A and B are shown apart, each in its own frame.
Chain A
């Protein structure tokens, strides 16, 4: 548990319009942990996650991942190779609406498949079997041949988890995975993430809004405020004082059951 899989040092991100989204952020992500990032909207949580798989390009600092500095990667193939090993799920699921669940999950194999083969839909039988395996894992295999936009939000997020798992990632980034789901579905999706974390040993870095969820699922928590790291530690030790420091004075905690 102690060995870091990702080591983030002095990470900076300034957008072309001058907004400084991340200021000198440093922390380690330990192998196999369920790390949760909290903070207000606009505090830089999403930007941080997107810097880790280079959906955004950081403007300074370093991120060490297997003896490699993610920030320094420049060619398309290097970045593809990185994304292959770091899966991601999103608040709005980001599936292809008109495609079937199975073909959405097979997107996880894009980085492993030559472009011309993938365009003709020529995924190998092993790939398909693997996709079905992960659909089984998130309990949605019976929907494999249904169009993705026919599913409920919670089901779509589970498909997105299966898609990310099909990449065989070592790290899974989750950007507000339950923010557009109802409270009951919230727990189902979070439970699957925990299952992925505990049974497959995949390190999870997850942005969350609700502190009650943080206390249940996180093994460790960091907090961002205005692009800066303001807290790092055990989720259970976030008390009222910390809460007000992170979310501003007079903020009230909303509970989700």
Chain B
């Protein structure tokens, strides 16, 4: 069948701009918008505290109660008329008649000044967590990890000019920055976390000692030039976060043209693997793989570690049969798990002349940046058998491909992994 009428150019386009994405309902667009400060409680056009302070005389703080009713502190003698006027549209839409008014002791702007003043001294005290102009209490609230430091923070607030009766000190849990596979500064470095080499992101495959050299293994294409050693420098997680080079590429065998079984015009190897030597040997977490909260749940938050207690066989193609469940942890899609679907597959790499012999296919999630990830089989609890190094996948992100451990050691030499 021919289609002689079709000669026109078909153009499709998409746009990128941080501002344009904030109200974008297209599920394919990146969501970079800030969350609505009022969440599901109300529309985003409710006035800010600063705006209310300008419009409502005696304003001391505002919040929505558990029923969604606007609730406002007003200082003694202040009329609720202005508050009701500001919220008239909001209340009418919800069948509410009036703003709920609470007797306030302090104006919002005064509390704001006290918050700023107390912050300087109070947050300098070990154990102080936050200083808040608390719209629900009409006070400056200081959170502390342990009430043993209450006296110190109260004294600090008083020195800052905040009346003792305007301060509430309460015990709260510390605020912990969530460490993910992408942002953690992991020392010593575990497998699965993000690494950065100039212009690119990958994942640490597994830690390995070659002779006495402490190293990690990642993908061969996670080097400046795939095949051959160019002393690629690695940063973790990003050069912009920690500018210290943690490791340097020391092994990446060249791809062979015209070798046994290598198709004409192609470049062949048995593994897409390279090795980088740690600049500081103490940074090697031999045998450890960063663990997230569960397989195939999308989480990148590190909750613990797997321990490598054994390696797959040294045979080319490995010894894990089709149907065996294996796992990987990588910086983009985290911990994914699925069954081996194909073993010892000679695989052409899209967009290149590279052919890799005897690779393993797995039905499990993968994404850009997972290259280099460790692949393993869970043997018991958090103990795992190392299976190889992930290097690729399909465009749908539902199938990953890895070089079996036996292929890696065939080309990089003997490695101690745990």
Partners in one complex: no
